[in-house]
Amino acid sequence: MENNSIEMALMEPEEQELVKFIYNFIPAEDRGSLSADDILLVLDLMDDYLEEQSLVRENPETGEMEYLDGEVDETEQLNYVLAAVKEEGRSITGTQIQLIQDAELQFGIEHGYYTEE
C-alpha cells in the first residue's frame, strides 16, 4: 500500500493504524488496486450511512463523533457504500467493501471499541 497519500499524512496515528490494519486484513487476491484513499473513502461512506441512520452524532462539548447504540444493517450499509462508490466513479468492488467492513469491525473488537456478539 502506498503511504504517500496527503490524507494519510494528515491522519492521527490511530487512524493510520486502522487503514494499515484494514489493508493487511484483506487477502492479496482481493486487494486489486485498492489504495489507502479507497479505504478512507469507504470508511467515510460507512460513517455517512451511520449519520443517515442517526447512529452517530457530534459531541457538542468535544466536537468528536460519538457512535450511538443501535443495530447496523450491514447489507444495507454495503449497498449504500457500493452505490456511493459507483457514483464517485471508483472501481471498488462489493467484495472489497465487505472486507473493509469486516476489517474495521475486527479492528474495533481488538481495540475494545466493539464487543463480539
Reduced to 3 states (helix: H, G, I; strand: E, B; else coil), residue 108 is helix
| Parallel/antiparallel/unpaired status of strands 56-58 and 65-67 | antiparallel
- Low-confidence winner among 3-7, 74-78, 89-93, 99-103 (lowest mean pLDDT): 3-7
What is the number of residues in the chain? 117
pTM: 0.85
Whole-number pLDDT of residue 6 = 62
**Dist CA 41 CA 29 (whole Å):** 20
Q: Residue 3 pLDDT more than 90? A: no
Instruction: Give the mean pLDDT of 100-113.
Output: 91
Model pLDDT for residues 46-89, shown as the tens digit of each residue: 999 999 999 988 888 988 878 888 888 999 999 999 999 999 99
Cβ partners under 8 Å of residue 8, min gap 6: 16, 19, 36, 37, 40
Whole-number pLDDT of residue 72 = 87
Whole-number pLDDT of residue 113 = 78
Domain ranges of the chain: 6-110
The three grid cell numbers given for residue 22, joined into one nine-digit string: 484494514
**Dist CA 106 CA 100 (whole Å):** 10
